[in-house]
Structure 1
Amino acid sequence: MDNQSVDCGCEENSQPLLSTSEALRFLTNAANCTSNTNMVKLDDALSQVLAQDIQSKINIPGFDNSAMDGYAINLKDNQVNTPGGFFFDIVDRIPAGSTGNELAPGCAARIFTGAPIPKGANTVIMQEECELIENESKIEIYRPISLNENIRPLGNDIKTGVVILEKGIKLKPQDIALAASVGVNALSVFHQIKVGVFFTGDELVKPGDELKPGQIYNSNQYALIALLKNLNCKIINLNTIKDTFKATVEALKSLKDQCDLIMTTGGVSVGEEDHVKPAVQSLGELNLWRIKMKPGKPLAFGKIGNSAFIGLPGNPVSAMVTFLLFARPFIKKLQGCRDYHNTTYQVAANFDWHRSKPRREFVRVRLDQTQIPIQVNQYPKQGSDVLSSMVWADGFAEIPEKTTFKKGQLINFYPLNEMML
C-alpha cells in the first residue's frame, strides 16, 4: 500500500482535499496486477484480459488467393496494360478449398473468392468484366488488364512470427476471431478478480418491497453490481447489512480473505451513523477519503488483510461518478489491463460557466453531433441525487476548479459508453 497515507483520524474540515489527478495517481499506483493466469478456450475468452502476447505461427493467407469471383488468367507479356479485346480459353474450375492445374499462356480458370491462385496465373478478372463466348468455352475482355489484379498475396494480412495480440488487452470478439484465424484454440488470461460488496443504511429497501416513511429503494446495490459485471469481475454480494459498527466489521472480516477488492457505498463520511470508515480502520488502514471534486467528495481507499478497499459515496450519482473515474481504472489495472485510464475527448460547451468554483466538477452532459465541433448540453439538474441525469447523459464534461468560460469553450468529455466497458 502506498506510504503517502492520509491521517483519517482527524476531523473532516481539517484534512486537505486531494485533487482528482492526485487521487487517481494514488489509487492506480497502489493497484498491483494479478499474477494468476489460466488457459481458456476461445468460447470462454470474451472480456478476459490476455496474459501473454500471441504470435502467429503461420502466414495469413497461407497462399496467394482470389479476392473475387472471376477468372484467373495467364496473361502474356504483350497483353499487359494494352487495349482489350483478348480471348482466353477456359480450361479449369477452382472453387474455394481446392487447387487448380497449371495454366498455360492464353488460358483462364473459373475461380471463386478465397480459392488458391493456380501456377501460371498472374491476374484475376472479375466475372462482371468478362463476356462468355463460344458456348461459354472462352471469355473475352475489352479493357486493359494489369498484373496481379484481385490477388491476395501470401501473408497479406499476417506474416509468420508477427505478434497479433498483445498482453494486457481485454479480449473483444474481433480479437478472438483473429486468434482463431491463426489456429490458436486457447488463450492464457489473467484470473478474474473477485470483488466483495455490501451496503449500509437502515433507510435502504429492496426494490419490490413496500416503502415506509423515511425509506428509499437501494439503487446503489444494482448500479455497483452492474458496473462490476461490465468489468467482468466475480462478485460476492452480502446485500444490505445492519447499519452498525459491529455488523460492518463482521462483513469486512468475512470478505477480507477471499477477495481482491471490497467495495461499499455510503458510510465513509464523518457522521455518527457512518460506520464504514472506523470499521475499516479497526481492521486495516484507510489511505484517502476526500477529493476536491463534485459530485463525490467522500471516497475511501484502504486495505484490509490482502484485500484493497474502496468506499464510494452514498448518493447514487456520486457513487457512479466516483466508480467510473477512480474505481474503474484501479480495477482494470488489477486485472492486468495495459490501457486502464479513461479516455477523454475535446468538445465545445453549449453553455456558459459563470461562477468560479473551488472543486472540479463533472457535469452530466449530452452530445449534440449536429454541430462542428461537437457540442455538449448540460442536464438542468446536477444534484448528486438526480439519478435520471445518468440515464439522460452521454457522458461527463470536466470543469476545472476556479474556472469560468463562455459558450464554445473546449472542455474534456468522458464518454459513458466507453466507460461502461
Structure 2
Amino acid sequence: MNNQQTDCECDTTPQALLSIDEALELLLNSAKVTRSTQWLGLDDALNKILAVDIYADIFVPSFDNSAMDGYALNLKEEQINISGGTTFKITDRIPAGSTGNTLASGCAARLFTGAPIPKGANTVVMQEECELIEDESSIEIYRPIALNENIRPMGNDIQSGDVILSKGKQLQPQDIALVASVGVGKLEVFNKIKVGVFFTGNELIEPGKSLQQGQIFNSNRYALVALLNKLDCEVINLGNIKDTLGATCQALEKLKSSCNLIITTGGVSVGEEDHIKPAVEKLGQLNLWRIKMKPGKPLALGCIGDCAFIGLPGNPVSAMVTFLLFARPFIKKMQGASNYLNIPFKVAANFDWHRAKPRREFVRVRLERTITPMQVNQYPKQGSDVLSSMVWADGLVEIPEEKTFKQGEILNFYPLNEMML
C-alpha cells in the first residue's frame, strides 16, 4: 500500500518530518462527525455514543425515603439529643412500595430501606439501635437522637432538569442504570461508522495455507479488523485483492460509496512501488506525512469523495501503534465521542536510556504493579517487525526526542487495554 498527499501538491523536495502533535492535530481537524443516529432500548445501548444530552424530568428519589431498615420517629423537640432511654409507641408498618399514615408526635413507624418517610416523621433510627418493649408494641432508644438521621431527601441524587449524561458520552453500564432511574427507556445514539478495508501484495497469503518461499501470512488484515471491531465499527472487509492498479481502483470505488472511512496498511513509505498511492490520487486527494516517531513514521491521509482515507505503515507493530495513536482518536471523533484522545498516566522507567534519538519513541513495556510508583520494564526486542512484543506488553511508554535518562525517570504510559476502547 502507498504513500499519499491530500492536496495532491506533489513536491519533489523532501518533506519535513511532522511532530506527533502536529500530525494528530491535522488529522483530527479533518475528522467529520457522523450525523446518522438511531433510537435504541437500554439493553442494546451499551458502548454506544449518545447523540443528545439526557435531561431528568423527575427528582431522584422522588420522595423522602429511609436509608435503612429501622423506625421512623416523630421526634418531639424535648426528645432531641437527650441522654438516657426514650420510648416511642409503634403505630404503623411501612414496607418499600407502600405509603404510611401520618405519624403522630412521639410515635414510631416500622419501615424498611427505600420506604417513604411518613408525614410527621422527622428522623429514622436503625433497627439495631432500637429495643422492642411492651410486647413489641413500643421501642426504646438509649442514645441521643438528632433530626433527619438516615433520611434520603427527595432529589438527593438527581434534581429535575439536571443534565445527567452529555452528548458524546460512550455509554457504560452505570450510565444505562442512571437513565433508567429517571424513567428513560430509549436513547438516541450515533450509528456505527462504516470502515472499509482491503489488502494488496503478492507476498501475502491467508493463515491456514501453505507458506511458499518469499511469502508471509497476512497478520495485518486480522489485526486491523479486530481493532476496528473493538471500536464498535461496522467493518466492510474486501480481503486480499489483486495487486494491480485496476483492482485497487475498483476496491476504492466499491468502498467509497458505502463507507465513512477506508483504511489500508503498507505501501505508505517514500519510494515504495504499489498501487494504493496512484489509485487514491486518481480518485480523490492524498497527503503523505512523515512523522517524527518510532515505530511508524509514514502515515497517509486523504479522501475519495466524502469518504476519508488513512494509510498505515506495513510493518505489523508500526501498523498497530500508528492505528492506536492516530486512527483510533480519528475514528472516535467521527463516532461522535467527546473523549477521543488517548490519555496517558505517569510511570517510572525500570531501565536506562543511553542514546538520544531524533524521533519520539513508543516503547513496548509491561507494568510492574507491585512497586509504588508503578514501574515499567521494556521488551528486549523493539523492532517494528516483532509482533510478539505487542502480546507481551500491556502498554506503550513515550520517550521524548533527544532524551537520555537513568532508571527511575517518570514517563507517559499509554495502556493498551484503554487504547482499544
CA distance in 1, matches of 2:306, 2:343: 30
* Count of equivalent residues: 417
Q: Deviations over 1:138-169 (max 9, x none)?
A: 22211111111111000000001111011111
Taking a change above 3 Å as real, the CA distance of residues 361 and 272 of structure 1, as seen in their structure-2 partners, is closer
Query: What amino acid sits opposite 1:176 in the alignment?
Result: I
* CA positional deviation for 1:94: 0.8
1:406 paired residue number: 406
The answer to whether the 8 A contact 1:220-1:319 is kept is yes
1:367 paired residue number: 367
The answer to whether the 8 A contact 2:6-2:302 is kept is no
Instruction: Give matches, 1:187-202, under 5 Å.
Output: 187-202=187-202
1:92 aligns to 2:95 (yes or no): no
The answer to whether the 8 A contact 2:6-2:303 is kept is no
1:301 paired residue number: 301
TM-score by length of 1: 0.95
Query: What amino acid sits opposite 1:324 in the alignment?
Result: L
CA distance in 1, matches of 2:387, 2:92: 68
CA distance in 1, matches of 2:138, 2:113: 20
Taking a change above 3 Å as real, the CA distance of residues 291 and 384 of structure 1, as seen in their structure-2 partners, is same
Query: What amino acid sits opposite 1:36 in the alignment?
Result: S
1:393 paired residue number: 393
Instruction: Give matches, 1:228-247, under 5 Å.
Output: 228-247=228-247
CA distance in 1, matches of 2:379, 2:320: 16
The answer to whether the 8 A contact 1:65-1:114 is kept is yes
Taking a change above 3 Å as real, the CA distance of residues 237 and 168 of structure 1, as seen in their structure-2 partners, is same
2:142 paired residue number: 142
CA distance in 2, matches of 1:360, 1:169: 31
1:350 paired residue number: 350
CA distance in 2, matches of 1:402, 1:246: 44
Q: Deviations over 1:329-375 (max 9, x none)?
A: 11111111112111011211111111011111000111122222221
The answer to whether the 8 A contact 1:266-1:274 is kept is no
Give the secondary-structure state (helix, strand or coil) at the position aligned to 1:15.
Answer: coil
CA distance in 2, matches of 1:31, 1:172: 24
TM-score by length of 2: 0.95
Instruction: Give matches, 1:282-301, under 5 Å.
Output: 282-301=282-301
* CA positional deviation for 1:317: 1.0
CA distance in 2, matches of 1:51, 1:79: 54
Query: What amino acid sits opposite 2:293 in the alignment?
Result: M
1:265 aligns to 2:284 (yes or no): no
The answer to whether the 8 A contact 1:243-1:273 is kept is no
RMSD: 1.7
* CA positional deviation for 1:204: 2.1
1:130 paired residue number: 130
CA distance in 2, matches of 1:89, 1:203: 88
Give the secondary-structure state (helix, strand or coil) at the position aligned to 1:189.
Answer: strand
CA distance in 2, matches of 1:346, 1:95: 50
Instruction: Give matches, 1:19-418, under 5 Å.
Output: 19-418=19-418
- Structure 1 residue runs without a partner (length 5+): none
Query: What amino acid sits opposite 1:89 in the alignment?
Result: K
CA distance in 1, matches of 2:165, 2:84: 45
The answer to whether the 8 A contact 1:69-1:112 is kept is yes
CA distance in 2, matches of 1:225, 1:110: 59
The answer to whether the 8 A contact 1:299-1:313 is kept is yes
CA distance in 1, matches of 2:9, 2:208: 38
Query: What amino acid sits opposite 2:315 in the alignment?
Result: N
